[in-house]
Amino acid sequence: MTDFKRISPQQAQALREQGGVVVDIRDAHSYANGHIRGSTHLDNHSLPDFIAAADLDKPLIVTCYHGHSSQSAAAYLINQGFSDVYSLDGGFEIWRHTYPQEVEQGEPT
């Protein structure tokens, strides 16, 4: 069994540029007010469909508010068969200060 890894915003940005997928587990309102450009909002309702359609071998970056809840979610996703999972240290709060140009607004799709 593989464990998830904790990564910095800089490492996450490099993974994104290489095709890594970002999932945001914050509530829908917070996501709508600002999220990492191109990220997917995940909640208990969308999770089964996301897992069913996902490439389990593609790098997956999990983000939350401050980087705490994403660790539990990353561990869960490893247990669901994802092989390359990362938790964003500092969460969205650090990301928006580090890469403000990579933040967008909008409702989850």
- CA-nearest of 11, 18, 14, 23 to 73 is 23
User: Does CATH place domain 5-104 in 3.40.50.1100?
Assistant: no
Average pLDDT over residues 24-46: 96
Inter-helix orientation angle 91-98/9-17, to 10°: 80
- 64 classed as catalytic: yes
> What is the reported pTM?
0.95
List the catalytic residue out of 36, 64, 85, 88.
64
Q: Look over the chain and give the mean of its residue pLDDT values, rounded to a whole number.
A: 95
**Is a pLDDT exceeding 50 seen at residue 1?**
no
**Is a pLDDT exceeding 80 seen at residue 2?**
no
What are 86's strand-pairing partners?
Answer: 5, 61
Q: How confident is the model at residue 59 (pLDDT cuts 50, 70, 90)?
A: very high
SS3 category, 35:
strand
Task: Report CA dihedral (50, 52, 55, 59) to the nearest 10 degrees.
Answer: 40
Q: Supply φ then ψ for residue 67, to 5 degrees.
A: 95, 10
Q: Enumerate the domain spans of the chain.
A: 5-104
